Amino acid sequence: MKKKPLILVGAGGHAKACIDVIENSGQFYIYGIVDNKKKKKLLGYPILGKDKDLKKYIKKVRHLLIAVGQIRDNQIRPKLYYLGKRLGYKFPTIFSKRSHISKHSEIQEGTIIFHDVIINSGAKIGKNCIINNKCLIEHDVLIGDHCHVSTKATINGYAKIGSKSFIGSGSLISNSKSLPTNSFVKIGSIIT
């Protein structure tokens, strides 16, 4: 299968981690990166310009991935996602070959699944999400759009995570727990 070109939005630390997953997945090749700060390259990939320059590339590259993390501000990822949608970009689902994703789960566009993640049957993950390294998403979990589930977090069966939420590293969400939109769960939290 021929790899398709992909543009990343964002050239920070999270983008470096995204690049590693994209290279591992074998689904796409990175055409370049846009970022509002002046940089020349990131891990050997060219910086093509700023966010506003995305409109120049839509005829050459159809796929876009938001490579900005969500620790400080949960509005940036949705804003960039809707900018890309307005310009006509497609948002693929990207997953590491080192992850296990049940064929009975559902993952929507623009979501990236990192290394050593387990997503069990009946889980549903929304658009433009980050499911970071070593997360466990148990059966029948619902995760809304634009969420960031950080490293080694565990979300147990039937839990519901509202859109634009951040779940900190090593956190544990108990069975059937519901968190509202815009939730922020600190690192190492236990939510019962």
DSSP 30: E
pLDDT at 40: 87
Q: Are the CB atoms for 75 and 94 separated by under 8 Å?
A: no
Query: 57 with 112, same domain?
Result: no
- Residue 129 near residue 111 (C-beta atoms within 8 A): yes
Q: Which of 55, 87, 119 is the last residue of a domain?
A: 87
Residue 58, helix vs strand vs coil: coil
Tens of each residue's pLDDT in the chain, 192 residues: 689 999 999 999 999 999 999 999 988 999 999 999 877 899 999 999 999 999 999 999 999 999 998 777 889 999 999 999 999 999 999 999 999 999 999 999 999 999 999 999 999 999 999 999 999 999 999 999 999 999 999 999 999 999 999 999 999 999 999 999 999 999 999 999
Distances (CA, A) of 169 to 88, 150, 185: 34, 5, 9
The residue range of the domain holding 39 is: 4-87
Q: Which of 23, 56, 87 is the last residue of a domain?
A: 87
Question: 192 and 105: one domain?
Answer: yes
Are 148 and 180 part of one and the same domain? yes
C-alpha count within 13 angstroms, C-beta hemisphere, residue 183: 23
| pTM score | 0.95
Domain count, the chain: 2
> HSE-up of 164 (CA within 13 Å, CB side)?
11
Domain boundary among 87, 116, 140: 87
Rounded Cα–Cα distance for residues 162 and 160 (Å): 6
Residue 121: C-alpha distances to residues 80, 109, 118, 125, 174 (Å):
30, 18, 10, 12, 17
Shared domain check, 132 and 192 = yes
Helices (H) and strands (E) in the chain, counts: 3, 22
CA distance 62 to 55: 11
